[in-house]
């Protein structure tokens, strides 16, 4: 499991610094 710093959360999407927007449901599976 990766540890990702999510700086913003908007409607189920989280912004990862340097990585762009990711779906939170997907991020938890990775």
pLDDT given at position 3: 67
Average pLDDT by consecutive 10-residue portion of the chain (30 residues)?
Answer: 69 79 73
How many CA atoms are closer than 13 Å to the CA of 4, on its beta-carbon side? 22
Q: Look at residue 5 in the predicted model and tell me its pLDDT.
A: 74
Q: What are phi and psi of 17, to 5 degrees?
A: -60, 120
* Measured CA distances, 14 to 19, 20, 27, 28 (Å): 10, 8, 9, 11
What is the rounded distance in angstroms from the CA atom of residue 1 to the CA atom of residue 10?
A: 22
Taking a C-beta distance cutoff of 8 angstroms, is the pair 23, 12 a contact?
yes
Which pLDDT score, from 0 to 100, does residue 21 have? 82
Q: Residue 16 forms beta bridges with which residues? A: 6, 20
């Amino acid at each position: 499991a990766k540890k990702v710093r999510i700086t913003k959360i908007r409607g189920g999407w989280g912004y990862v610094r340097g990585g762009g927007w990711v779906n939170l449901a997907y991020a938890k599976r990775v």
